[in-house]
C-alpha cells in the first residue's frame, strides 16, 4: 500500500515534443505529490508539487495533472528540450504532523533528442 | 546560502566493515532525513531526525543508525556492511512545520562495498 508505481521506465522524445510520465498510488493517506528531477551525479531536485485539492498545477513548461478518484497523477513537459534529459521521479507522502517521508517511484529516464 | 552538503562524496569499503556518512542541512532547516538510492532505483526512506531524535524510520535493519547534533547536522552509520548496501546515500533537509514541506537533497555519498 506504500508503493508508488511509475511508468514508463524510459522515454525518448524529440526536441519540442511533449513528455508524459505517469504515476499511480494506493495509499489514500498520501496528500502531497512532488516530482523530482535528477541529473547524473547529482541529488534529486524538486521540480513541481501538487496537493489533491486541485486537479492541475502548471509552472512554466511543467504541468502536473492529478486524478484523485483514480489515484493517479502525471507530469507533462511541454516543448521538451535537450537540457530536460534527466531521470524524473514521482513521489508521495502523507501529512503526518512531522516532516515529510517521501515514497518514490522507480524513475523515468527521459532523453530529449536535438 | 549553502545547500545540503554531504561527505564523503565517494568511498569504498569491504564486507563487514562500518561506515559513517555526514550531512549538513540547508541553512535554517531543522530536520534531516536519509535515503538510500540503489542504482537505477528511486530513493528509499531510511530515517528522519528532528531535535536530535529519530522520529520516523523506514524498513531498514538496525545495522543502520543515525545521530543528529545540536547544530542540526547528522550522521548515518552502517555496521556490518553487506554487498547490497552499495548505493548512493542521500541526505535531505527540511523545516518542520513549513507550508511547503519541501525536501532539499544533497548530492549524496556513493558507497561501494566489495
Domain ranges of chain B: 5-113
Distance of CA B109 to the CA centre of its chain: 9
CB burial of residue B74 (10 Å; 0-12, 13-18, 19+)? buried
The reply to whether residue A43 touches residue B56, judged by beta carbons under 8 angstroms, is: no
Nearest CA in chain B to A107: B42
With H, G, I as helix, E, B as strand and everything else as coil, classify residue A84.
helix
Q: Is the pLDDT of residue A44 over 60?
A: yes
C-alpha cell recorded at residue A36 = 523530482
Between B95 and B16, residue with greater pLDDT: B16
Omega before residue B8 within 30° of 0, cis: yes
What value does the mean pLDDT take over residues A34-40? 95
Element containing residue B51 per DSSP (H, E)? none
What is the reported pLDDT for B11? 96
Q: Is the pLDDT of residue A95 over 80?
A: no
Q: Which of A110, A3, A91 is nearest to A50 (CA)?
A: A91
Between B23 and B98, residue with greater pLDDT: B23
Cα separation, A40 vs B83, in Å, equals 22
Cα separation, A35 vs A104, in Å, equals 9
CB pairs below 8 Å between A and B: how many? 67
Cα separation, A42 vs B43, in Å, equals 13
Portion 13-72 of A in contact with B at CB < 8 A? 32, 34, 36, 41-46, 49
Question: pLDDT-based confidence at A72, cuts 50/70/90?
Answer: very high
Which CATH code for domain B5-113?
Answer: 2.60.40.10
User: What sections of A1-114 are H helices per DSSP?
Assistant: none
Which CATH code for domain A4-34+44-113?
Answer: 2.60.40.10
What percentage of chain B reaches a pLDDT higher than 70? 95
Amino acid at each position: 500500500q506504500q508503493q508508488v508505481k511509475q511508468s514508463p521506465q524510459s522515454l525518448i522524445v524529440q526536441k519540442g515534443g511533449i513528455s508524459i510520465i505517469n504515476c499511480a498510488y494506493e495509499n489514500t493517506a498520501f496528500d502531497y505529490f512532488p516530482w523530482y528531477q535528477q541529473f547524473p551525479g547529482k541529488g534529486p531536485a524538486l521540480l513541481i508539487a501538487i496537493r489533491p485539492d486541485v486537479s492541475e498545477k502548471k509552472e512554466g513548461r511543467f504541468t502536473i495533472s492529478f486524478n484523485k478518484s483514480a489515484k493517479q497523477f502525471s507530469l507533462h513537459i511541454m516543448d521538451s528540450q535537450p537540457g530536460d534529459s534527466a531521470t524524473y521521479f514521482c513521489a508521495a507522502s502523507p501529512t503526518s504532523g512531522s516532516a515529510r517521508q517521501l515514497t518514490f517511484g522507480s524513475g523515468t529516464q527521459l532523453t530529449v533528442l536535438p | 546560502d549553502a545547500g545540503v552538503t554531504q561527505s564523503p562524496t565517494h568511498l569504498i569499503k569491504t564486507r563487514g566493515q562500518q561506515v559513517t556518512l555526514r550531512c549538513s542541512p540547508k541553512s535554517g532547516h531543522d530536520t534531516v532525513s536519509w535515503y538510500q538510492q540503489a542504482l537505477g532505483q528511486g530513493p528509499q526512506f531510511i530515517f528522519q531526525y528532528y531535535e536530535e531524535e529519530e522520529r520516523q524510520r523506514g524498513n531498514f535493519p538496525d545495522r543502520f543508525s543515525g545521530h543528529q547534533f545540536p547544530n542540526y547536522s547528522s550522521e548515518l552509520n552502517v555496521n556490518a556492511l553487506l554487498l547490497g548496501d552499495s548505493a548512493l546515500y542521500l541526505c535531505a533537509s527540511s523545516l518542520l512545520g513549513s507550508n511547503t514541506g519541501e525536501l532539499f537533497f544533497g548530492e549524496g555519498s556513493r558507497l561501494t562495498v566489495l
